[in-house]
Amino acid sequence: MLPLGVIGALSLLLVPPVGIAAFVAAGLVWYAFRDPERAVQADASVALSPADGTVLRVGPVFDDYWQTEMVEVAIFLALWNVHVQRFPLAGTVLGVRRKAGGYRPAMTEAATHGNNQLATYLETSAGPCTVTQISGLVARRIVTWVEAGDRVEQGQRLGMIKFGSQVTLRLPAGTQVLVAAGERVAAGTTVIARLDGRGDA
C-alpha cells in the first residue's frame, strides 16, 4: 500500500491520471486489509462465522484429518469484505497444514478442493473443527497467526487471506447449521451453527 501511495504522490505531479489511479489502488488495498474490532459474544453452545462474506453452500463432507464425516459451510469473500479470519470456537490448535494448488475463482467448488489453501485443525469442547483459508483468482498469500499447541478463544483472530478468497468451516456431523446459501455473515459475530449442547462439555 505504501509504494502505491508514493507512486501516486510522484505521479500526481508528473502524470496526474497515473497518480490518481495509484491513489485509488492504494485506497482499495487499505480497505481490503482493514481489521475492525468486533464485539464477540462468547458462547460455547454455538459456532461463530470464521469469515466475512456470503455463504456459498452447506453440506456433508469427509474430513481426511479427523477421519470422520463433518458438515461444511463454505463462505465466499469478495474484494470488499474484511479479509481477517476468526476462530468460530474456543479450543486448542492441533495442527496447521498448507496444501499447494491453483488459483481458480474463489466462488467455485473447484476452488474449495483445488486451490492453494491452509487448514487449521481445532479440538474444542464440542468436538473437532476445521477452518480452511483458500486462495482465489486474485489472492496469492494466506497468513496465519497461530501454530499447533496454541490455546485460542472464540472470535480470536486466526489469520488473513490477501484479497478475494474462500473460507470453509467444518463442524461435527449432526451440528445444526443456522445459515443457508446466499446469506451474508460476519466473522466473530454471526452465529453460524448450534452445537446441540455439546459445547457445555
User: Do you know the residue count of the chain?
Assistant: 201
- 165 in active site: yes
Distance CA 185, CA 149 (A): 28
Q: What's CA 157's distance to the chain center, in Å? A: 10
For 34-93, the DSSP string reads ----------TTEEE-SSSEEEEEEEEEEETTTTEEEEEEEEEE-TTS--EEE-SS-EEE
Give the torsion sign (CA, 85, 50, 148, 69): negative
Catalytic sites, residue numbers = 165
